Structure 1
């Protein structure tokens, strides 16, 4: 499969498309074959007429040609915090056979300091594979599930690029140098949180734009300081772009995360509009990540990347041995009783339940709450502020059961989820791997239980084919099918 993909992108046919060195300078960078490659310099851009550039020289002396909508304060770039008390020697990591250290890459001390704080001594397979190419300026396509460390892989590439290349002297406040597009609000929030942790000592500014949140509040953070790394959902980013608040012509690195999910959700037309606002693909570095390499995903990658490196992490690595998997054969009418009794009889305190439709999620959550179980729902119908509050409550242990659709469940990274229950089996096998990956994280053990009824048992064979093994199907014990006691 890997050979076919490489052939699709013209590898081995004597073609050597231009690619970009991560330094962003005009000096060529040697690649692993000893050849030199450099991105084309940007062409001069026409001056904007919508609003003046915010610079130290012009902010005080240039009168506005039109009445401002609101005062836009200019702040100088944040100074890098002092790291004099920390030395790289404080982050000692012994070489291990078969493992790649972050020390094995030429990363900035500020970034290494953050990795030390986070306790990340060794790269995950996707990180080791991707960074070997992207830190040399190559575009890359990565196939990896959520939870494999791909977020840190592309953030480290972005941060390295921005630290090695000085920012332009003239620059709009709303002109990001790196752009990450993700399909769901939860995933955007998580990526931005990870980016903030990794840029802790760099002075780089991270911002996130998502729908369902106060537009003016998001606008105020954009007006207060320069944006270095912008993480956004497609719709909200277009809102800012079309209003002239965000300009994408200085994007040096662009990341498309969960491209397959964006296809499923119908976001590709919006993504196309966004990409047209960025520099040509020969003048930016583009990284694309997807859980699956479908024909549609690869066609998009071919349009948007230049000579990309292809890195694949097999699904078997994600469906970890730390997750114990069970399937209960149960009638549809008995599914709720089984769910209620599993949670209450075993006294589980942090459970995630997946269903395929928003109306199913709502009904399950309402019945659990009515029957005295602390529960909350995560679906596209829930307002964003409430979804964030729900996640925090679940993380803190105030909410016992979180019921979610696959779309809403994307990007949820909460430690300590002991059980994942598939109330309905997913129609897409990869979603099963994603679901059970919510438990058994960071080496901890976890359990997944799937309910196979007359309406969804057909989905089990494709899941087993993806996993490469059978999952034992059993009938639930009689005590787990007892009637739910009525609450007075």
Structure 2
């Protein structure tokens, strides 16, 4: 009997030691009660626990989960490096008629990033927009691409998020700033600029675009808090409808290229998104457009509160750094002219625009057939391939990029020497956007437009917008010689 009792007590003594690992791991799950109270209303209350569970897994005896822990990702923005930098390292002398970033109350972290990017003085739209938005006012900006409007709203967002600490209880999928743009390429460009400007601030930037792996974007969202979210309307709605993103904490909302979103029929989707954000009196709203049509101004009135209106270069719509030419050419000779211009002049970075996706595809196929390193950019190309194509073009591995207006809008690539309008655009504003791909950042560029029997009637509207005539000339005979056929 005594032996039996000893055995029973011996088992009882073993029980606490067996439970000790559970007691040790419990603190790793302790933060779970800090999830927001509306947790039960969301079908997926797992965002905070998922992020907290990963470090707990890394603490297990088995070392395998450690490489996937999110900590290294958070250490990408090294604050110690920022602490070595001093405002005295960024000396910009005052100049009459110019506004310095020093003239605004910006944090050292933000000024350090601006210094790294080499921006001593504000562009006109940056100076005017920041003068209002840094005081918390809504703003409507009219500006062409290449004027610096992206940096204007990003700097305003970063300053706002740095001044206001985030709430202690917060889901991963609750961004504090939201930027909506109409095209995938523009979203990627804005997100890259945001990453450069948040380099030292510790703010997290994410981008959601259609055509990319949804699960991969979801994993990024679950790995860390989202401070600045840049997205196309359709993909953002996908995340919202699945309960992965909630917009009730948005402090700043930006609508970029509102006129283009109107043209592309995105406004119903944008309305759906905006209804999920706080009321306009409780958020700051910035709207940018290349044109101030009645439709754009009506939207601005609905979505903003007492906005400052900023218009930049309303008269000079085309850059003086772009030399413009128009060749009168038969439609049947357009491809010969294009091929000979590129090959005889040995141009290395050219953008060719056409109005339709099938035209873009045919031009690319002919150029490749005839030995010219070309690629297309249109809505038919999968998103991952479009991003890779842009990278190859940026790095010089592609000579000619053939694009439609929708795909070409918002592309900011340095060193494009020539823009060729294979067909003249139906909308004169698109002509300005096309030729704006060259002659950027003060460099010179050349645009050449082919005016054939089917599209020459577009010229008067373009000239009216520019406020001047463009000389129309016949191409030299040597540019109309037959294309030599490659031997296969």
Q: In 1, distance between residues paired with 2:40 and 2:170?
A: 11
Alpha-carbon RMSD across the aligned residues, in angstroms, is 2.0
Contact kept, 8 Å, 2:317 with 2:465, in 1: the verdict is: no
Q: Alignment partner of 1:345: what SS? A: helix
Q: In 2, distance between residues paired with 1:101 and 1:426?
A: 38
Q: In 1, distance between residues paired with 2:297 and 2:365?
A: 41
Pick from 79, 88, 104 the counterpart of residue 81 of structure 1. 79
Q: Which residue of 2 aligns with 1:308?
A: 307
- Cα shift readout 1:219-272 (whole Å, capped 9, x = no counterpart): 000000000000000000000010000000000000000000001111011000
Number of residue pairs matched by the alignment = 434
2:389 maps to 1:390 = yes
Instruction: Tell me: CA distance 1:487–1:74, structure 2 relative to 1, closer, same or farther (3 Å).
Output: closer
Q: In 1, distance between residues paired with 2:358 and 2:444?
A: 31
Q: Which residue of 2 aligns with 1:95?
A: 94
2:157 maps to 1:155 = no
Structure 1 residue 59: deviation in Å?
Answer: 5.1
Q: In 1, distance between residues paired with 2:83 and 2:187?
A: 33
Q: Which structure carries more relative contact order (alpha carbon 8 Å, separation 6+)? A: 1
Contact kept, 8 Å, 1:429 with 1:466, in 2: the verdict is: yes
Q: In 2, distance between residues paired with 1:415 and 1:74?
A: 34
Contact kept, 8 Å, 1:330 with 1:453, in 2: the verdict is: yes
| TM alignment of 1:72-471, pairs within 5 A | 81-82=79-80, 83-317=82-316, 319-471=318-470
Structure 1 residue 46: deviation in Å?
Answer: 5.4
Contact kept, 8 Å, 1:54 with 1:170, in 2: the verdict is: no
- Cα shift readout 1:271-293 (whole Å, capped 9, x = no counterpart): 00000100000000000000000
Structure 1 residue 100: deviation in Å?
Answer: 0.6
- Cα shift readout 1:186-240 (whole Å, capped 9, x = no counterpart): 0000000000000000000000000000000000000000000000000000000
Contact kept, 8 Å, 2:328 with 2:450, in 1: the verdict is: yes
Q: In 1, distance between residues paired with 2:397 and 2:435?
A: 22
Q: In 1, distance between residues paired with 2:257 and 2:402?
A: 22
Q: In 2, distance between residues paired with 1:450 and 1:73?
A: 53
2:473 maps to 1:474 = yes
Instruction: Tell me: CA distance 1:342–1:54, structure 2 relative to 1, closer, same or farther (3 Å).
Output: closer
Contact kept, 8 Å, 1:53 with 1:170, in 2: the verdict is: no
Q: Alignment partner of 2:441: what SS? A: helix
Q: Alignment partner of 1:200: what SS? A: coil
Q: Which residue of 2 aligns with 1:16?
A: none
Contact kept, 8 Å, 2:47 with 2:173, in 1: the verdict is: no
Q: Which residue of 2 aligns with 1:49?
A: 41
Provide the TM-score with structure 1 as the length reference.
Answer: 0.86
Q: In 1, distance between residues paired with 2:245 and 2:411?
A: 27
Which structure would you say has the larger Rg?
2
Q: Alignment partner of 1:121: what SS? A: coil
Provide the TM-score with structure 2 as the length reference.
Answer: 0.86
Gaps of 5+ in 2: 1-35, 54-67
Structure 1 residue 74: deviation in Å?
Answer: 8.0
Contact kept, 8 Å, 2:109 with 2:201, in 1: the verdict is: yes
Q: Alignment partner of 1:442: what SS? A: coil
